[in-house]
Amino acid sequence: MGRMFGTDGVRGVANQDVTAELALGLSVAAARVLVEAGEVSADHERPVAVVGRDPRASGEFLGAATVAGLASAGVDVYDAGVLPTPAIAYLTATMNADLGAMLSASHNAMPDNGIKFFSRGGHKLPDALEDAIEAHLHEEYERPTGASVGRVHPYAEGGEKYIGHLLGALPHRLEGLKIVVDCAHGAASVVGPEVFRRAGADVVVIGATPDGLNINDGYGSTHLEKLQEAVVANGADFGVAFDGDADRCLAVDGTGEVVDGDQIMAILALDLKERGVLAEDTLVATVMSNLGMIKAMEREGIAVKQTGVGDRYVLEEMRRGSYSLGGEQSGHVIALDHGTTGDGVLTGLLLAARVASSGRSLARLGAVMQRMPQKLINVKGVDKSAVDSHDGVQAAVRAAESDLAGAGRVLLRKSGTEPVVRVMVEADTAERAQAVATHLADVVKRELSID
């Protein structure tokens, strides 16, 4: 059946793939594995967990099942309600909790949901711990009884503590800036606009009326059209867009042009370097980052370390090398001095602070790099597990790389969260990138089809 955990926890169609029974079982297994992985904190009489969710309707019953599973395993649970993923990571760390759990399918459409866990310190789990949780799923164990069962505590103050943390990380106030904030009808719908207001910005809010069904629907980082319209219509300096669980951020400059994750990382890396706080003068990015960004960083004296796709792998490299900034083209940006995971609201604040402190427009700041034309095609209905080993597919990749002859690159990878193969091509022209990507996508569909 393959591995249950993907690059960002367990995810699928709620009440079909991700059921209440699964959430309960995973929570019990996670409690056992993560509590056993380290001694219970001296701050608490018994294990403690922090639980949060995004506003999807299915999160109501999945969150209840998760809380029930943890409490049944003898864990005291602090239920923070609807908050961004990075808020749960932050609270897990600052409360010295033994684990954290977040119910979200991030940027996926409303019918999906998922569950991801954090270990003590607010870190995403390595593969070995996820595999251990899966191995313990539905395993018999000695259940606590009586006074040993966990207790459940509402934790409404978690949002205010997270806002305070974000404001404490802000290097420059935002007075004088008019910013459109698009919350994707998601987890940051309350805390996102509020922290920008408290930071001094004039805030225009869109996509911040979640009803349980409209998350990511036409708004947020995967649907930037509404943000582009709002920035231009309101004469804003720029706009930022989060995804459903607000662990990523993309932006739109004052002219309505998109500023992607690579540009955001380049802007923030230069800011940190100028302030002398970019550790090792190094930025960590994934293999999906645009070559234009890498060349721009090299020109500015900043090294770029590349990892596999997924912010967890970026974080692992950052921790290994003690680097301070990393992220993905999709908008997951990790500022390790302030958080343990991608944080869309923090990213937007840091970007806004750079605009305010420099006196330059976001468009001008983003021009530090020129994006090489890039085409990404998602190929569905194929055996994604064979993409790295199929002779015909790999021969087509080698031929494409030879044809580009150093003027671009090719990357085929299986998605860690969806049943697709991603074909990415960069070339010296958009037409060439399109042609090569279309050809390779046709090869993948023909050779790996499971229809």
End-to-end CA distance of the chain: 18
* Residue 366 amino acid letter: G
Helix (H) or strand (E) holding 283: strand 282-286
DSSP states of 356-369: HHH---HHHHHTTS
Q: Is 370 helix (H, G, I), strand (E, B) or coil?
A: coil
**Tokens matching residue 338:** 């302030």
Catalytic residues: 106
Q: How far is Cα 396 from Cα 132, in angstroms, rounded to an integer?
A: 38
Q: Give yes or no for a contact between 252 and 220, defined as CB atoms under 8 angstroms apart.
A: no
Phi-psi label, residue 115: left if phi above 0, alpha if psi -120 to 50, beta otherwise: beta
**Tokens matching residue 139:** 């395993």
Q: How far is Cα 177 from Cα 355, in angstroms, rounded to an integer?
A: 9
Q: Is 438 helix (H, G, I), strand (E, B) or coil?
A: helix
Q: Give yes or no for a contact between 174 and 351, defined as CB atoms under 8 angstroms apart.
A: no
Give 449's strand partners: 382
Burial annotation 319-330 (CB, 10 A radius, 16+ → b, else e): eeeebbbbbbbb
Within 10 angstroms of residue 364's Cβ, the number of other Cβ atoms is 13
- Please name the residue that has the structure tokens 């002859």: 405
Q: Is 241 helix (H, G, I), strand (E, B) or coil?
A: strand
Q: How far is Cα 328 from Cα 312, in angstroms, rounded to an integer?
A: 10
